[in-house]
Structure 1
Amino acid sequence: MAIQATVTQSGGMPNPPQSGVKFRSHGRLIRFLQKEKVAGVVCSAPFIFGFLMFLVVPLALSLYYTFTDYNIIGEPRFIGLDNYIRMFTKDPLFWQSLGVTFFFALISTPLRLIFALLVALLLLRNSKISGFYRAAFYLPSILGGSVAVAILWKQMFAADGVVNKALGLFGIHTQFAWLGNESSAIWTLIILAVWQFGSSMLIFLASLKQIPSELYEAASVDGANKWSQFWKITLPLLTPTIFFNLVMQSINGFLAFTQCYIITQGKPRNTTLFFMVYMYDESFTRYHAGYGAALAWVMLLLIGIYTGVLFLTKRFWVYDEEA
């Protein structure tokens, strides 16, 4: 017994009590992590960290920069409300870019939704090649915001571009500069936006398939034609989807950037100067980052007001099954 005690004390054999302590501590840790609340916190920690570091903190910093004179390189200098005073009283480009953006969004969004709904109605019937057509019509929505498509669009509407050559096939020979004319330049960007109706089209198509066919059968028995069925059945039941597409596409219209920046750069005479492009120029071309941050927060506020107005009007025209 004395020899065994000596060997154990000298470290020649493992010490069972120490191993037991380790196993018990590991067991407590595992049981602690297996608790529902703890597991939820651990699993959501990466998202919470990303949300704080890449959204909340940048938002807070940008809000602070709106009250400073900041050129990205140097230290921000607090100037109070000077950026906002300059914006609303001394900057005509602010009002012009805001007007151009609202015109673009309020014209392109309804046209895009109309085309999306028409194409969705055409693709509603299943056929062997319906999947191909759906993919083909959706493709512009994927490519429409890319730089390559914007450059191609710019070449198409040049004086010697495809559009003028296509008009020549119908006897209309012209070298009209679509992008250089103050009246037509903005419409080239609107046409590009309307061309990107694929995402709205797929949403409309999914909603159309959810409408019960029994409603159309009952309407046919009562003598309603296709036009009456569309106005009395299809359109009312699609109003929730129309509302969703209207909100999302309007926000995308207000935040449009690539089309203007690549195709027109705001020319001619700032008639195509989108708000986001103007904000980018102020922030990273003229190095007025504080003023650019103020522009961004004003646009955020305007989008919030516009969306709030849409939600206030929702109860007057959006069909609610629970009502």
Structure 2
Amino acid sequence: MTRSVIAGTPGVAETPGVSPPGAAGPPAKAPADGGRRRRGQGVAYLFLSPWIVGAVLLTIGPMAASLYLSFTDYDLFSAPTWVGVDNYVTMFAGDERFWHAAWVTTKYVLISVPLKLGLALAVAMLLNRPRRGVGLYRSAFYAPSLLGASVSVALAWRALFSTDGTVDRLLGGVGIDTGGWVDQPQYALLTLVALAAWQFGAPMVIFLAGLKQVPRELYEAAAIDGAGPARRFLSVTLPMLSPVILFNLVLETIHAFQAFTGAFVVSSGRGGPSDSTLLYPLYLYQRGFTDFRMGYASAMAWVLLAVVAILTALVFRSARRWVFYAGEDR
């Protein structure tokens, strides 16, 4: 009988290559994949470095500089002078055009966003039906969004709605004499709304993708229960599209608050007539690059950012009541 000599413990056999109980083994080796993981992270950061540098230099850096300038008096030609919150106090308490621009922008957003989304959904439902040449129709309706609110499109829009323009002549032909819309304070903003609604291609494509995901069985079950087209639209289509509606609503609201090119070109950069097209971004441009009050313009930009962030948060908060996700209990 072999007896162990380790720790004086009798009755334990020594086995070559096996450490007895209680004996300290060799140091554990680091996992072989640890080094590979670190090398992989290094490669990932290497490929991400252009984006990181771009984000710091083109986004985070300018935002930080703008935030600093919003507390200064800066005219683009001399060094900024610290004035604290004077720009914000002047903006809210002493600038009537600021409030007018905010009101015009609010009207523009409240009219253009629902109209644009409504047109996009209506056209998407028409294009969702199988028919010959549907791909061509989709491309044609999407084309205005590709052009965007470019200067050339805005110039063409101004010509269409100017005095003795195409729209003026068409309305005059049926006995409606309104004059040039861009020259009438009561109609000028509607030209910008029409320009925004005309570019409904992007939300239309998103709505179309959402409609493709609605199960046909839901429509069939609703039809068996006696639901008509209107009822199926309200009880099936809208609830199933609610996440897509939320997505489009947030994007289009943000885009509407940023509208600038159309208002600048149609009004020749003045926001006229009678400041009826003085959208907030256009007034911000005037204060920064016409009046050379870049500190004041920076403060306006941060107010706009805060307003858009608050509205977006409110929309997401309200989504709990009207957005339906498949599979969740209500």
Give the whole-Å Cα distance in 1 for the aligned partners of 2:201 and 2:38: 45
**TM-score, length of structure 1 as denominator length:** 0.87
**TM-score, length of structure 2 as denominator length:** 0.85
Report if the CA contact (8 A) 1:240-1:319 is conserved: yes
Report if the CA contact (8 A) 2:163-2:183 is conserved: no
Give the SS at the match of 2:183: coil
Give the whole-Å Cα distance in 2 for the aligned partners of 1:43 and 1:101: 41
User: Which one of the candidate residues 293, 316, 319 is aligned to 1:314?
Assistant: 319
Give the SS at the match of 1:184: helix
CA drift at 1:99:
0.7
Report if the CA contact (8 A) 1:101-1:274 is conserved: yes
Counterpart of 1:116 in structure 2 is: 120
2:226 aligned with 1:198, yes or no?
Answer: no
Counterpart of 1:49 in structure 2 is: 53
Q: 1:160 to 1:313 in 2, by over 3 A?
A: same
AA aligned to 1:235 is: L
Give the whole-Å Cα distance in 1 for the aligned partners of 2:121 and 2:180: 32
User: Which one of the candidate residues 289, 298, 309 is aligned to 1:293?
Assistant: 298
Counterpart of 1:104 in structure 2 is: 108
Q: 1:182 to 1:86 in 2, by over 3 A?
A: same
CA drift at 1:175:
6.4
RMSD: 1.6
AA aligned to 1:295 is: M
CA drift at 1:144:
3.5
Report if the CA contact (8 A) 1:159-1:175 is conserved: no
User: Which one of the candidate residues 111, 119, 135 is aligned to 1:131?
Assistant: 135
Counterpart of 2:236 in structure 1 is: 233
Q: 5 Å matches for 1:165-180?
A: 165-172=169-176, 174=177, 176-180=179-183
2:90 aligned with 1:86, yes or no?
Answer: yes
Point out the more displaced range, 49-58 or 36-45.
36-45
Give the SS at the match of 2:182: coil
User: Which one of the candidate residues 253, 269, 273 is aligned to 1:268?
Assistant: 273
Give the whole-Å Cα distance in 2 for the aligned partners of 1:154 and 1:212: 44
Q: Where do 4+ consecutive residues of structure 1 move more than 6 Å? A: 31-34
CA drift at 1:222:
2.3
Q: 5 Å matches for 1:272-287?
A: 272-287=277-292
Counterpart of 2:252 in structure 1 is: 249
Report if the CA contact (8 A) 2:73-2:81 is conserved: yes
Residues 288-323 of structure 1 show CA distances to partners (whole Å, capped at 9, x for unaligned) of 011100000000000001111111111111112223
Q: Larger Rg: 1 or 2? A: 2
AA aligned to 1:282 is: R
Report if the CA contact (8 A) 1:65-1:290 is conserved: yes
CA drift at 1:177:
2.6
CA drift at 1:216:
1.2
Give the whole-Å Cα distance in 1 for the aligned partners of 2:208 and 2:37: 45
CA drift at 1:62:
0.5
AA aligned to 1:123 is: L
Residues 102-154 of structure 1 show CA distances to partners (whole Å, capped at 9, x for unaligned) of 11011110011111111111111122311111111111112231111101111
Give the SS at the match of 1:73: coil
AA aligned to 1:301 is: A
CA drift at 1:161:
0.2
Q: 5 Å matches for 1:3-42?
A: 35-42=39-46
Identity between Structure 1 and Structure 2 (%):
43
2:221 aligned with 1:213, yes or no?
Answer: no
Counterpart of 2:79 in structure 1 is: 75
Report if the CA contact (8 A) 2:168-2:180 is conserved: no
Q: 5 Å matches for 1:147-162?
A: 147-162=151-166
Report if the CA contact (8 A) 1:124-1:209 is conserved: yes
Give the whole-Å Cα distance in 1 for the aligned partners of 2:175 and 2:265: 31
Give the SS at the match of 1:183: helix
Give the whole-Å Cα distance in 1 for the aligned partners of 2:38 and 2:178: 73
Gaps of 5+ in 1: 1-30
Residues 13-57 of structure 1 show CA distances to partners (whole Å, capped at 9, x for unaligned) of xxxxxxxxxxxxxxxxxx889811211221211111111111111
AA aligned to 1:52 is: V
Point out the more displaced range, 217-226 or 246-255.
217-226
| Corresponding pairs, count | 292
Point out the more displaced range, 125-134 or 282-291.
125-134
CA drift at 1:171:
4.0
Give the whole-Å Cα distance in 2 for the aligned partners of 1:112 and 1:283: 30
Residues 158-180 of structure 1 show CA distances to partners (whole Å, capped at 9, x for unaligned) of 111001111233244x3613112
